[in-house]
Amino acid sequence: MANDTYYDFYDLPSDEVKASTKALAQFVSIIGGSKTISMVSYTSVFPNGGSMERYFPGQISFAPITLYRHLDDKCVPLMKWFEDTAAGKIEKKNCSIAQIELVENEGVHLLTIWDLINTLPIAQPGFSYNSYRGTTSTKYKLTLQAEEIIITYVAP
């Protein structure tokens, strides 16, 4: 039984993704989104004059998320969103990425949904062209920055 995993990108919140069949684009790879808690330090001073450096959790931040797919007309709305942002027309969006597994003879299984809150495109690097062994492909890469990422694991 062969399985294939891909990532659907929606400009919808996750509760609408589950009912939708219309992804804005489909990606073959997703990288990033690490969650980091900054630590705020403070010094405790004891009655005997001694002190100790202590820490408590501070702000949570998320690393950018990079998505990869083949370049085609499905990339146009994402390219426009980036170009508008670069031109100063800032439109933060709540987006979702759904991890989909296509299982031979069983159909499609929804595995994970990442809700990206107040998201902006922050990089749209050049394109990668590959003509190795007579096949031609052009990769499209988009990097997004979200203020918050909420992960939902869907039960199989």
- Alpha-carbon distance of 147 to 144, in angstroms, equals 10
In the prediction, which pLDDT does 44 show?
Answer: 94
Question: Cα–Cα distances in Å, from 42 out to 37, 53, 55, 95?
Answer: 16, 6, 6, 37
Residue 140 is predicted with a pLDDT of 83
pLDDT in tens, 89-109: 999 999 999 888 888 777 778
pLDDT tens readout for residues 108-134:
788 888 999 999 999 987 666 666 655
| Distance between first and last Cα of the chain | 17
Q: Which of 1, 23, 26, 21 is nearest to 103 (CA)?
A: 1
Place of tokens 């062969």: 2
For the chain, domains (ranges, CATH) are: 3-153 (2.30.110.20)
**pTM attached to this predicted model:** 0.77
Which residues in the chain come in under a pLDDT of 70? 1-3, 18-21, 126-137, 155-156
